[in-house]
Amino acid sequence: MAKRVTIIDVAEAAGVSRQTVSRAMNDAWGISESTRRKVLEAADRLGYRPSRFARNLVTREKTHALGVMVASFGNPYYTDIAASLLAAAAERGWQIMLTAGESGVEEALSLLAPQVDVIVGHFGIADERLRDVCGGLPVVRMESEVPHDAERLPGFHSVGLDMQSGIQEAVKELRDRGARRFGMVESGHFQRYFGTYEPSARRRWYEEAVGEALSGVVIGDESISGGGRAFAELMERHPDTDAVLMFNDLMALGAVQSAHALGIDVPGRVRIVGVDGLSLGEAVDPPLTSIALDRDELARHVMDIVEILAGADFARIDPIERSVPSRLLWRGSA
């Protein structure tokens, strides 16, 4: 496979710094016309992906194309988010191009970036690498977990999800309903794809909320069958568990099925809580309790940021961070 051309390659070919390439291609202030043209010519010669941007700088065309990357089209949670974004974008006159990162985030973005003006999505790579892959396009991370003391790179923005408060609310409600031993089925996504495991923020917040009442944690695949297997393993290892948080709703649906197969009464013996708030959760018996995200509000925040970026010199806009609260959908499984 040929080596992907990066912003560093363009900088070397043009004899300028990487920052100058970014500023030239983003039509930022402080760059002479001769330097700008030299950068654009080097980018076109090397086949650098933001050639779309280069053409726009020359022709001054007004574009309204939003690139959206979701983690997986196989999980209805992400397709629901995509549907909300499609509706919100249509209301504001933006076209959307969709891709998924299942077969490789960088490869998918390499095809998407030349065709759009802003990139939005779920990404499993650091800002520095994402900046190079997207070739200087502004980026909005969805559901990004950004520490309060962390600094965003210029051109990077985020709409986060306040999942911690939803988890705390769920634990309190479970305790009020009599739960005493709390287990969790965690996602093995990063371990599967990157070879190492780090506890998710959901696990950290859950363990903090339950404290010494934690019975145990099992790692499973993010699927219905994976959730079912992991739930069965959790109950075998920690039979005193009477409340379980599943990493997402797909896994929680598997947990409910697994409980039926094992003869475990839900919610009489074990209370099960998912995360995502899928309408599919109403199709099982008992219906699934879930910590939900307002996807329409997420889409509105994303499009607000996108329009701010489109209406100004985005290279000079400070990182924008917004947050969407989670809420507890109490159904029959807990």
243 residue type, one letter? A
Strands (E), 206-270: 214-220, 243-246
The sign of the torsion formed by the CA atoms of 223, 294, 211, 189 equals: positive
Report H helices in 276-323.
295-310
Token couple for 20: 């100058």
Instruction: Using the structure block, give the residue that is written with the tokens 């974008």.
Output: 89
Residues 6+ apart with CB under 8 A from 66: 85, 89, 94, 95, 96, 97, 116, 117, 118, 120, 306
pLDDT of residue 317: 79
pLDDT of residue 272: 98
Per-domain residue ranges of the chain = 1-61, 163-293
Average pLDDT along the chain, 334 residues, taken 10 residues at a time:
64 85 71 87 75 45 78 87 92 88 78 83 82 81 62 79 93 97 89 69 95 97 95 98 97 97 97 94 95 93 89 73 92 96
Helix (H) or strand (E) holding 134: helix 127-134
Distance CA 243, CA 91 (A): 42
pLDDT of residue 125: 78
Distance CA 261, CA 59 (A): 64
Distance CA 295, CA 262 (A): 34
Token couple for 71: 């983690």
Residues 6+ apart with CB under 8 A from 267: 286, 332, 333, 334
* Among the four given CATH numbers 3.40.50.300, 1.20.1250.20, 1.10.260.40, 3.40.50.620, the one describing domain 1-61: 1.10.260.40
pLDDT of residue 195: 64
pLDDT of residue 315: 66
Q: What share of the chain is helix, strand, coil (3-state, %, to 5)?
A: 50, 20, 35
Name the residue among 102, 101, 98 with its Cα closest to residue 81. 98
Q: Is 163-293 the same fold as 1-61?
A: no
> Under CATH, to which class is 163-293 assigned?
alpha beta
